[in-house]
Structure 1
Amino acid sequence: MLRTTPKINKIYILIRAKDKGAAFNRLKSEIIESKLFKCLEEMHGEYYKPFILNKLIPVVGNIYEPNLGMDIITSQQIAQQIDLIIDSAANTTFDERYDLALDANVNGPYQLMMFAKKCKNLKLLMHYSTAYANGEREGLILEKPFTMGESITKEKITSISSFTNFPSLHVDNEMDLVSKLKNNITNNIGLEQIMKNLGVERVIDPSIFLYGKGELPAVYCDQNTLMDVIPVDLVVNATMAAIAKHGYLQSPQLNVYHLATTFVNPLAIHQIFDYCYEYFTLFPFVNSKGDKIEVKEMKYFDKISDFSNYIWEVLSKQHKVQDLSEKELLKIHMRFKRKVEFLNNFSKRYEPYGFYRGRFHTGNMRILMEEMSEEERKNFEIDASNINWKDYLIGIHISGVRKHVFEGKKLCI
């Protein structure tokens, strides 16, 4: 936005922080001094910092709270000024407690909508959601919204039996359910697990790097399952295109866009790990002794028991257990057991993605793209069918995440 929209006045950034100083420090470290903004710094030279500090305003707040956690004066000031809200706040922890997940992914957007109603000059509200919020829906998934009270769980159950009565889900009811559960538990013993279990009832990078470290020789999945991977550049460009199209419409509309690849440029799990094998063969990790970590081609299992047995077999081959005392043998077996349990739990967490049967239709995205001029399409690429997966994964994604996300972090089990 700062590169391509010179007339933009201010961008207020809601930041979770204890005070204004901490919020500014996050703005400074995560944005102003980020390598991602080097191109903007080169454009403005010595005027870069004054320019960006004039445009980006950090605001202390919390999306879960009324008024988004802002003080009254700040919230009133912002409500009078803004004409666009972009909501990308969410909790993406796969096995999060249900109460915390509900706060971030349901109560947060609810509070944001309440605040949006106070913004008299608001022309557009954009909300991002992961494709996998579609749960276990199968087949071709169209770009259409749910109506209030609908749920994926209801779809799944009624598809098995049309006579099943499933209650409609509403924010207030779910929040009330969580509140009553908490109140009925006299102490915190067991609360953590209860909430995690409730969350379970109701993504790919860690797997890649465990594989590169030699810690994940196999995966529990259908190797032909399609994964919806999308470069963030395309997400940003599609956001800009949608703002340009819908920002000044006079009549209220609800539009859904799938920026997805399963329909237009499918990528299977086995392809991802084929490219990972190629990458880590060329650019291997180095262990604590300075030796290069050798990776082998990935193995795939559709039964968790077969997966566990294979992991145990690999561990046994890696560690010689001959001529050991009973005590030493017991210690090694306990270590094997912990690794297998960790990888079992890790794999079960990713199971919904490893066996996913949905494909996301992108008709609305296609129309949005066709309405752009040739120059706009060149400057704001949103056509996911143009992605060369080998070039992207080997040349950009894996090396980029390795450098900017996992560098210096311990991933060994």
Structure 2
Amino acid sequence: MYTMPMMELRNVSDFFKGKTILVTGATGFLAKVFVEKILRVQPDIKKLYLLVRASDPYLATQRLHNEIFKKDLFRVVQDKWGADFGSFICNKVVAVAGDVSRDMFGLIDVKLSQEMLDDINIIVHSAASTNLDERFDVAMGTNTMGAFNVLNFAKSCRKIEIILHVSTAYVCGPGEGLVAEEPIHMGQTLNNSPRLLDINLEKHLIKEKLSELHAQNANEETITKTMKEFGMIRANLHGWQDTYSFTKAMGEMIMGNMKDNLHLIVTRPTMIVGTHSEPFPGWIEEVRTIDFLIAAYCKGTLTSFVGHSEIVLDTIPVDMVVNSMIIALLAHSKNLFKNWIYHSASSLRNPFKYSDLQDIMYSYFTKNPWVDQYGKPVVVTKKLTLYSTSMDQLPLNKGSKLERISDLYKPYFLFQGIFDDKNAEKLRIATKGVPGMNKEFNFDPKAINWKDYMMNIHFPGLVKYSIRSKM
């Protein structure tokens, strides 16, 4: 049994007291939940710099208030501060207009960038382009070169203590068996190709392809379509299933290979779903990962999809991902662990099968039918049918958006791997017995009752915050 001095992890909020934190991709789903948790558990942080993509500080501040602090997610913190909430945010949070795909984030405010370089202790790099088939140039800029630029920025920070890089568990490609929490090495490919993966070559090929398109006077639609296809071609060539996992893998290669003496943690979540408990159960934003399937099923637009009933759909609530990130930051700040890669996953310890999703969706939406914009309930008459052998069996319209989505998600809904989380388990063991820790910072997938969570928390939250808001 793994043991360690429990006193070391006694107080999470003490660790963040007086700290200055930079969060990239601050308007993203995971980053918002991280920001909310920090402001809730430790209002005495020194400063929270939130990097958002905007052309100037005014627009960055507008985005911050409209896309982050006005969200229902912050109602617990708002209730706590009441009329002082606005001034609390103004005192603690700084909107930074920038872009991770640019050197030094393209910061033009010299005074602000100097303050950041002088004060930042922790960087949480969450910015990512998460479209599976993003344009290759866009995904490379954000997911790969973004990692490079964050690393370079961190090396210029005088008081930097630690960087946490948010990756994805699916950098492993279409894995089988137990997927270990191991680094991806620079140049590694997934298809046993004798030729190493060369990131500089990929960048050169992007530049070449764009020049070629501009020389042909291609319109924006053609450029986007071509660059999306090009990304998928390059990803498949090296063994990855899509542009997203490919460019995220290259970002990890850069992080691991060029970190030098920087203290680095990489967190690899699986398919992130809505909150389990905090700040309240069921908060979610947009329709993501498995949720597009749930949304299409309850609207009656999807009756069959690719998959196999025994496949484990590795999903993890967003608040558990955030809790694991916070505990990893605390543990590494005290040099308690040598492992630096952590899966945030459920498939090993509490598997949620495709058949469970089929049963629970049918059970929920027959009792609670989705109501369309005309006030008419959509009646679900049967369980989702699964086809595991060939996409041709799916009764989808050829060339339709649904067929495209099916092709993109096929590797995830037929994924045979199980994510080992022994490093994450060591973190959990270290928190056992520490007063309040398991309640306040729970990230144990065994604590999830999947039927109860889906029926009473996730589906209602999805309908309230995401499916309904899209109407």
How does the TM-score come out when normalised to structure 1?
Answer: 0.85
Distance 1:287 1:368, change over 3 A: closer
Q: Report the CA distance shift for 1:166/1:200 in structure 2 as closer, same or farther (over 3 A).
A: same
1:30-85 Cα distance to aligned partner (Å, 9 max, x none):
33222211111222233222112211111111111111121233222101111000
Q: Tell me by how many angstroms 1:365 deviates.
A: 0.8
Counterpart of 2:203 (choices 171, 175, 178) is 175
Give the conservation status (yes or no) of the 8 Å contact 1:208–1:273: no
The separation in 1 between residues aligned to 2:425 and 2:374, in whole angstroms, is 52
- Compare 5-14 and 42-51 and name the one that shifted more: 42-51
Shift of 1:392: 1.1
Tell me the equivalent position of 1:188: 218
CA distance in 1, matches of 2:469, 2:74: 22
Give the CA deviation at 1:127.
0.8
Verify the 8 A CA contact 2:307 2:386 in the aligned structure 1: yes
1:407 aligns with 2:471: no
- 1:175-212: CA deviation from partner (whole Å, max 9, x where unpaired): 11211121233232543333212222302111110111
The answer to whether residue 342 in structure 2 is matched with residue 342 in structure 1 is no
1:370 paired with 2:429, answer yes
Alignment correspondent of 2:264: none
Partners in 2 of 1:289 and 1:73 — Cα distance?
53
Cα–Cα, structure 1 residues 288 and 143, in superposed 2: closer, same or farther, change >3 Å?
closer
Q: Which amino acid aligns with 1:128?
A: V
* Equivalent pair of 1:265/1:385 in contact (CA under 8 Å): yes
Which of 267, 270, 275 is equivalent to 2:352? Answer: 267
Residues 1-42 of structure 1 show CA distances to partners (whole Å, capped at 9, x for unaligned) of 112124310100001123222211222123322221111122
- Unpaired stretches in structure 1, ≥5 consecutive residues: 159-163, 312-336
2:339/2:423 contact within 8 Å kept: no
1:141 partner letter: V
Distance 2:334 2:116 in 1: 20
**Structure 1 residue 273: deviation in Å?**
2.6
Aligned partner of 1:197 in structure 2 is 229
Deviation at 1:102, TM superposition (A): 1.1
1:359 paired residue number: 418
Residue 2 of structure 1: SS of its match in structure 2? helix
Q: Distance in 1 between matches of 2:78 and 2:375?
A: 38
The letter for the 1-side match of 2:201 is N
Q: Paired residue for 1:91?
A: 129
Cα distance in 2 for residues equivalent to 1:288 and 1:8: 44
Tell whether the 8 Å contact from 1:32 to 1:49 is kept in structure 2 after alignment: no
- RMSD between aligned alpha carbons? 2.0
Identity %: 32
Partner of 2:107: 70
Residue of 60, 75, 79 corresponding to 1:38? 75
Could you tell me how far apart the structure 1 residues matched to 2:169 and 2:336 are? 29
Match for 2:386 among 300, 314, 332?
300
Partner secondary structure for residue 371 of structure 1: helix
| SS of residue in 2 equivalent to 1:264 | coil
- Please give the alpha-carbon distance, in whole angstroms, between the structure 1 residues aligned to 2:400 and 2:322: 39
Corresponding residue to 1:221 among 307, 311, 314: 307
Who is 1:331 aligned against?
none
Residue identity matched to 1:368: L
1:365 maps to a residue whose letter is A
CA distance in 2, matches of 1:381, 1:393: 18
TM-score (structure 2 length as normaliser): 0.75
Q: Tell me by how many angstroms 1:288 deviates.
A: 5.2
- SS of 2:96's partner is strand
Does the Cα contact within 8 Å between 2:306 and 2:414 map onto a contact in 1?
A: no
Q: Which range is displaced more, 118-127 or 139-148?
A: 139-148
Larger radius of gyration: 1
Selected match of 1:246 from 309, 313, 332:
332
Contact 1:16–1:62, Cα closer than 8 Å, also in 2: yes
| In the alignment, structure 1 residue 382 sits paired with structure 2 residue 420 | no
Q: What is the aligned partner in structure 2 of residue 324 from structure 1?
A: none
Q: What amino acid maps onto 1:147 in structure 2?
A: H
Q: Which of 139, 158, 161 does residue 101 from structure 1 map onto?
A: 139
Residue 394 of structure 1: aligned partner: 455
Q: What is the one-letter code of the residue matched to 2:429?
A: E
Question: Which amino acid is the alignment partner of residue 306 of structure 1?
Answer: Q
Residue 14 of structure 2 corresponds to which residue in structure 1? Answer: none
Distance 1:254 1:69 in 2: 33
CA contact (8 A) 1:123 1:248 kept: no
State the shift of 1:402 in Å: 2.0
Q: Which has the higher strand share?
A: 2
Q: Aligned-pair distance for 1:236? A: 1.3
Q: 1:333 aligns to what?
A: none
Shift of 1:374: 4.2
Residue type of the alignment partner of 2:369: P
Q: d(CA) in 1 for partners of 2:111 and 2:383?
A: 59
Query: How many correspondences in the alignment?
Result: 371
- Describe the shift of the 1:245–1:192 C-alpha distance in structure 2 as closer, same or farther (beyond 3 A): same
For the structure 1 residues 49 and 206, does the alpha-carbon distance in structure 2 shift closer, same or farther, using more than 3 Å as the test? Answer: same
Query: What is the distance in 2 between the residues matched to 1:52 and 1:341?
Result: 45
Answer yes or no: is 1:165 the counterpart of 2:203: no
